[in-house]
Every structure is written in C-alpha cells, then in structure tokens.
Amino acid sequence: KQDADFGPDPFKQSTIDDCLEQVVQSKNKKELSGDDDYYWNTSAHVAFNFDDVDDDGRRNVQFNKRAQSSVNNVRKFSFDESNRVTAEACGVTLPSPGSNLKQAGLGDVHKHAERLRIGHDVPTKGLKSTNTPEETVRNIVIGQPYFLGQHRSKEDKIALLNEAVRIQDGNAIIAVLLFLKQTLKQSLFNQELMQRPRAVSHYLSHLRAVQDNSQLMDVLGMLGRAEDAAMIKYKLAVETPEAATRLRNLQSCYKSHFQSDPSLEAQAELVREELKLLEMQLTIEEQDSRAEMEGQNILMQEFPRKAPVVGTSLITTLYYCCLYHYNVSNNHIASPSQMKAVFNLTEKQFVWTALTALAQIKHWKEIDNLFQGKSWLGKSKMRCCIGFDKAVEILAKAHAPPEVFERYLQMVDDSEKRLTLAKAH
C-alpha cells in the first residue's frame, strides 16, 4: 500500500535529495486502482513504492518546481575582493559562457599550473612578473611569495646576498645562501661567504641545526677555527655505537685534526690516551669473553661479569682489571700495575680503586700487601696514602670480617675518628 505524502517538513532545511521526484506508479498499477487510489497516485507529491519494480530495472525521475528552484538557488561562495586572485593576474584566458570547453585557454591553465609546480611566484593581485633583488628580499622578510630562480646573473645573486645582510634578517640570509650554494661554483660561494661575517654566523647556526657536520667542519676550517672543527669530528667519532668502528673513527680524527696541528697538542695527548684505552679494552674483552665461555677464570664464575669492559672509563677499567686480573704478570695487557704506569695514575687513584675491588672479592691478604710499605731503615710498615679511616669505611661497606676491620681500625691515628668509626660500624 502506498504511503501518503504530506509535503516537505516546514522545519527542515531543503537539500538536493529533497528535490528529487519520487518514482511514478506503473501503468498497470494505475488501471487496477480505484478512483481514490488514482487520486493519490496522481498527486503532485508521490512517495516511493517498494512494491513497484520495473522489468527493465529503470525508473523515470523528474524534477518538480521545488527541485528546479533549489538547484537554481544553490548558494555561492564569496571572497574578499582584496584577496581574490583574478584571471588576468594568472595570465589565463577564461572561455565565454557559451563557448565550447575545448576552445578555452586550457593550454594556458596547464602552463600556469606547471609554473606553480616548479616554484614560480604564486600569482596575486599586483605581483610583478620580475622583481629586483631588493624586492625579492623584502618579500622574504614580510612573508610574501617570492621566486629566487628569476635572478640568474651573478650580479643579481650577489645583490640578493648583500641586501639580505644589510637588512640583517636571518631567514632571508639563509634562504639566499642556500640558493647561492645550489647555483654558484663551490669556490665562488665560499669566497663570497667568507667576505661577510654576518652571513657566516647565520650559516654556521643553520648547519648546526640541520646537523650538516661535513659542511660545518669545512666552513670552520676555512675560518681557521681548527679546534672547533676537530671537536665536531671527535664528537661524531665517540658517538659511534660499535666499538671497532669507533676506534677507526677516532684514529681518523686524530690523524686529520690533532696530529698535524701544534696548537692542539694538549687535546691530542688526551685523544692518544683514549685510543690506547680503547685498544686495551677491545683486547681484554676478547680474551675475557673466551675465558668466560671456556670456564678458565674462576673469579668470573664466582663473580660473573655484569657488562663488557669496552667503552668504560679509565678508573672503571682499572677496577675491572683489579677484580679479575690482580695477580697477573706486569707484562700482561690487563695488569693493573701496567695500567697505572701507562696512564700515569696517581698512587691515591690506584690504591682507592684496588682496595675497593679486592674488598669486593674478599681478598684480605692482597689488601694487606697493598698497604705494605718500607720505612727509611728498610723495615716493613703499614701505610695508606688515602688514610686508614677511608680504608676502614671501604672495608665496612664490603662487610669485612671483624678481625680485619678491627686491625685496620687500630691504625687510625685520630682517636675521635676511631671512636666514631667503631660506633658507626
């Protein structure tokens, strides 16, 4: 049964879908219906009949006056005349309303789209087709569209840079410098850059921001700032995750920046020591990894290694060697005594580190030998360069046996300190 159509909802806004006429009753349906049904079926507004399906699968759709009125009155967008881009400014000839689309200036449209794609000026009202270098730099500063590619001569390019430096706008200077770097020979670009300290300062900041370290080191080298260039190279080398690659990068950095520059002798000495330490760590790690797998080192089974020694500091490496290789011969690469001599460690640095490691593995006899010294008369005498009060604190943290703790506590000269340590531990 057909549903009656009471017209559109007066409170609902008309849409395009409301404008479509409903499907008309089929001819056979009209003949079988009565007068009343015929009246409803032929009214101006007909609802959709779900029971009515044509054989050919087509429906006749027509638009009523409401549809025509709605379609013709579709709202149009409006733009501010001051911001409107005109066809004349775009250089496009629009076809007349009655002309054929094929006869329109579509070629001009495609050409203009190509110009926009490759970076030409976005056409706006009043924009000139060609700007002077001063006008282009001004557009960069005030945020207007600009096209650096229109300046092809060397004179115009230099004028761009001069104007950007004169205005002292960092964004304009960087934009012009990047344009010159792409369009000028490297030697000419470097020559013009070096003549303008303000441009150099902004360019260095830009290279640091984008992390163009290769170009940054080249510019610093041209400026005679060898130490800054060397430190950048050094930083890149030490940040290498893989140890063997880090060693090669450090060696390259040392040869290219530190070895040949007498002004960097102090820094070169530090790099040499770091190279020696890293080479030593790689060798020790290789030997200890094999010994740990084969079970050759008993201490490694009793006190398993928590981390590789490669990449640790000098004092940490010394602690590691005292922990696992304290009694090896002096010519062994992991000998603590040899490490002390190679890296010129002080007596306090060595004693503090060795005492901490030996207390950790409960080697109390080795601690006695560590403090064993000789007097002027050749007699043996217990002495501690870090002070026995510090030694007692280290032994207490390592949970030394009472007899060991008491023996070294008695060696503290200050009675008040001795009493304080006794109460604390």
DSSP string for residues in 273-327: HHHHHHHHHHHHHHHHHHHHHHT--HHHHHS---S-STT--HHHHHHHHHHH-TT
d(CA 20, CA 14): 11
Whether residues 358 and 257 fall in one domain:
no
Please say which residue of 215, 244, 268 terminates a domain.
Answer: 268
- 162 and 232 co-located in one domain: yes
Q: Is the pLDDT of residue 189 over 90?
A: yes
What are all long-range contacts of 196-205, with beta carbons under 8 Å and residues at least 24 apart?
Answer: 196/161, 196/165, 198/165, 198/168, 198/173, 199/161, 199/164, 199/165, 199/173, 202/170, 202/173, 202/174, 202/177, 203/173, 203/174, 203/177, 205/170
Domain assignment present for 99? no
Contacts 24+ apart (CB under 8 A), 177-183: 177/202, 177/203, 177/206, 179/148, 183/157
Question: For residue 49, is it within any domain?
Answer: yes
264 in the same domain as 142: yes
Distance CA 408, CA 398 (A): 14
pLDDT grade for 418, boundaries at 50, 70 and 90? confident
Answer for the pair 180, 192: CB distance below 8 angstroms, yes or no.
yes
CA distance 384 to 347: 10
Clarify whether residues 180 and 261 are in a common domain: yes
pTM of the predicted model as reported, rounded to 2 decimal places: 0.63
Split at pLDDT 50, 70, 90, the class of 212 is very high
The residue ranking higher by pLDDT, 13 or 171, is 171
User: Which of 247, 268, 289 finishes a domain?
Assistant: 268
The reported pLDDT for the residue numbered 22 is 45
pLDDT of residue 374: 65
Final residue before a domain boundary, out of 268, 288, 323: 268
* Average of per-residue pLDDT across 72-99: 42
pLDDT at 267: 93
103 within a domain of the structure (yes/no): no
Same domain, 141 and 213: yes
Q: Are residues 141 and 48 in the same domain?
A: no
At 240-259, the pLDDT tens digits run 999 999 999 999 999 999 99
Is-contact 187 210, C-beta < 8 A?
no
The model's pLDDT over 45-80, given as tens digits with 9 standing for 90+, comes to 544 454 444 444 444 444 444 444 444 444 443 434
What residues are paired with 381 via a beta bridge?
373
Is there a domain that residue 307 lies in? no
Above 70 in pLDDT, residue 280? yes
Residue 215 domain flag: yes
C-alpha dihedral sign at 183, 187, 188, 191 = positive
Query: At residue 208, does pLDDT exceed 50?
Result: yes
Q: Please name which of 316, 313, 308 lies closest in space to residue 287, comparing C-alpha atoms.
A: 308
Phi, psi dihedrals of residue 8, rounded to the nearest 5°: -70, 155
Is the same domain home to 170 and 59? Answer: no
Instruction: Find the largest Cα–Cα distance for the chain.
Output: 143
Provide the residue range defining the domain that includes 33.
17-72
Residue 120 placed within a domain: no
The answer on pLDDT for 24 being more than 90 is: no
Does residue 344 surpass a pLDDT of 90? Answer: yes
**Residue 159 sits in the same domain as residue 258:** yes
**Looking at residue 382, what is its pLDDT?**
86
pLDDT digits (tens, 9 = 90+) for 144-171: 999 998 999 999 999 999 999 999 999 9
Beta bridge partners of 382: 372
Q: Name the more confident of 222 and 117.
A: 222
Please tell me the predicted confidence (pLDDT) of residue 128.
55
Our count of domains for the chain comes to 3
State residue 376's pLDDT score.
64
pLDDT at 131: 86
pLDDT of residue 79: 39
**Amino acid 2: pLDDT:** 47
- Helix count and strand count (H, E) for the chain: 22, 2
Classify 20 as helix, strand or coil. Answer: strand
- Assigned domain for 396 exists: yes
Cα separation of 391 and 359, whole Å?
Answer: 10
410 has pLDDT over 60:
yes
**Residues 137, 264 share a domain:** yes
- The whole-chain average pLDDT of the chain stands at 78
Of 386, 384, 383, 389, the closest CA to residue 422 belongs to 389
Whether 48 and 165 share a structural domain: no
Is residue 12 in a domain? Answer: no
